[in-house]
Structure 1
Amino acid sequence: MQHSTRHQEILTLLARSGEMSVEALADQLQVSRETVRRDLARLDAAGRLRRFHGGAKAIAVPPPVMEKEWPFAQRMAQNAAGKKSIADAAAPLFQPDDSLFIDTGSTTVAFAEALAGARALVTITNSPRIAAMLAANHSHKVFLIGGAYGADAGESLGPLALEQIAKFRVRHAVLTIGAIDPTCVMDFDLQEAEVAKAMIERADRVTVLADHSKFERRAVFEVAPLSRVHTLVTDIAPTEPMAKAIEAAGIRQIVAGGN
């Protein structure tokens, strides 16, 4: 992990917890304590956190704000290890003969790669990349949704895609999202939000794959209330307020590598 990426991870963790010890940060980041100490010294000197003996604390915890989403190629590179851990934890949740919608996102691409070794799944996706990954396993049956082509993420969108989604009825919708707060899951793009909502409407159960950077963010377009989500798979446990909202909604939360 590059030091700039690690610095941002440290700031994100502190923003959620308020303060953390060197040992806890080293465990979360899977680096040495000495590396964490050097990072904390640099961030403290830059005025981005307050270091104390044995740990550090956030200078301030900002309120949720409307944010933007980075281009897809950049999102693919962000927290790649965390997304792979989410994918590896999510893939065993699905059994042979299960039917799945999978939407387009950097985390669902990692999920498709992890799912490719499973057997006899029926998958419907609006991502040619995901379809190709899964179709390489000849025991899978794969349906590729067509429509207007979104070049950034390489996906099918628009009225034609929504019309085709409505022709299916599946057991699971597996979705990536742009943001999640204590009330709902959201996306930054209207057409992507419409695809996710259409998949949810035609699925019995909804599984959301979201790395920790999505927690306590806000995006413009609501995809679904938390109560519509059955399972949430993430890489780092959320803060206590967010965790309580997830529990109150009756969501099964899986922290990759945790309990």
Structure 2
Amino acid sequence: MKRTERQRKILEVVRRQDRASVEELSTLLKISYETVRRDLSDLEAAGNIQKVHGGATLPRMFGEGPFQQRMAENAEAKVRISKTAAPLFSEGETVFINTGSTTLYFIERLCETSGLTIITNSSAIARVASNAKTDNRVFLLGGEFSSNNHQTIGTMVAAQARLFQAHHTVMTIGAMDSNAGAMFFSIEEAQTAIAMIEQSQSLTVLADSSKFDQIASFKVCALNQIDRMVCDEMPSGNLSKALENAGVEMIQA
């Protein structure tokens, strides 16, 4: 197993469990304790984990509060979605990425591609992208900082987003309904996402099936504004029909 793949698996384990021991990782990945320790040192240097006696835990910025809870929810599905979505983007493209647990998994896969311009309001996504050993350019939109989700919010963020022109917006959502479209629970996050969509040529939604047939407070876009959606399970019933009628390309991870 290559080093990058080992370290990705280690990070996935730590995120699912909040922490993992050297012994556990050695057994799981069938590698020596020394190799685990070297990989943990690399991951700590990149800011992805924090080494503790006998193993590793998430750094403080990921280890507390509701954001970490969302990172652990449906983690396996989010990893599959990210692996499937990342190859859809190519060198030379400019990509908006909004804040979310799924998009944080996604950026780790996307950074295997070089020559991208990445624009985000997530400090976590910006950090992962800037630490990747690629020549990608990273822009972090400025505004009021929200420590709960490690993101910038407010009218300044939306205004700065409108200074860019992008090939793609990659967006995770709070909910999706056959009539209401894609929605967020936060008005600030919705405003940022709307600005990103307005400034890009195409919209890709990353959504696990827990978001289907749900309602949130703030609409972001109609279904016919979505070009493609990558999901772990295909929607059914009215939502499936509505997405088909809207011409959305559906990709199952």
Asked if these proteins are the same fold (TM beyond 0.5), I'd say yes
CA deviation vs aligned residue, 1:26-48 (integer Å, no higher than 9, x gap): xxxxxxxxxxxxxxxxxxxxxxx
Other-structure match for 1:3: none
Separation in structure 2 between the aligned mates of residue 226 and residue 242 of structure 1, nearest angstrom: 10
1:186 aligned to 2:183? Answer: yes
Distance apart, 1:99 and its partner CA: 0.6
Q: Secondary structure in 2 aligned to 1:71?
A: helix
Map 1:70-149 to 2 at 5 A.
Answer: 71-135=66-130, 136-149=132-145
Given the two structures, how large is their TM-score scaled by the length of structure 2?
0.72
- Name the % identity: 42
Other-structure match for 1:6: none
Residue identity matched to 1:90: A
Residue identity matched to 1:141: R
Other-structure match for 2:199: 202
Q: Secondary structure in 2 aligned to 1:164?
A: helix
Distance apart, 1:132 and its partner CA: 1.5
Other-structure match for 1:62: none
Separation in structure 2 between the aligned mates of residue 112 and residue 251 of structure 1, nearest angstrom: 23
**In the alignment, is the contact (CA less than 8 A) between 2:113 and 2:134 conserved in 1?**
no
CA deviation vs aligned residue, 1:176-203 (integer Å, no higher than 9, x gap): 0000011310000000000000100101
Separation in structure 2 between the aligned mates of residue 170 and residue 137 of structure 1, nearest angstrom: 23
Segments of 4+ in structure 1 off by > 6 A?
A: none
Other-structure match for 2:44: none
1:217 aligned to 2:190? Answer: no
CA deviation vs aligned residue, 1:54-76 (integer Å, no higher than 9, x gap): xxxxxxxxxxxxxxxx9222111
CA deviation vs aligned residue, 1:144-186 (integer Å, no higher than 9, x gap): 1110001111001101111111100101000000000113100
Other-structure match for 1:175: 171
Which blocks of at least 5 consecutive residues in structure 1 are unaligned?
1-69
**In the alignment, is the contact (CA less than 8 A) between 2:182 and 2:223 conserved in 1?**
yes
Distance apart, 1:137 and its partner CA: 2.9
Given the two structures, how large is their TM-score scaled by the length of structure 1?
0.71
Separation in structure 1 between the aligned mates of residue 84 and residue 69 of structure 2, nearest angstrom: 23
Q: Secondary structure in 2 aligned to 1:143?
A: strand
What is the total number of aligned residue pairs between the two structures? 187
CA deviation vs aligned residue, 1:214-254 (integer Å, no higher than 9, x gap): 00000010000001000100001111322111110000000
Other-structure match for 1:158: 154
Give the structure with higher Rg (CA). 1
1:249 aligned to 2:246? Answer: yes
**In the alignment, is the contact (CA less than 8 A) between 2:112 and 2:134 conserved in 1?**
no
Separation in structure 2 between the aligned mates of residue 137 and residue 212 of structure 1, nearest angstrom: 32
Residue identity matched to 1:72: F
Q: Secondary structure in 2 aligned to 1:137?
A: coil
CA deviation vs aligned residue, 1:82-111 (integer Å, no higher than 9, x gap): 000000000000010011000000000010
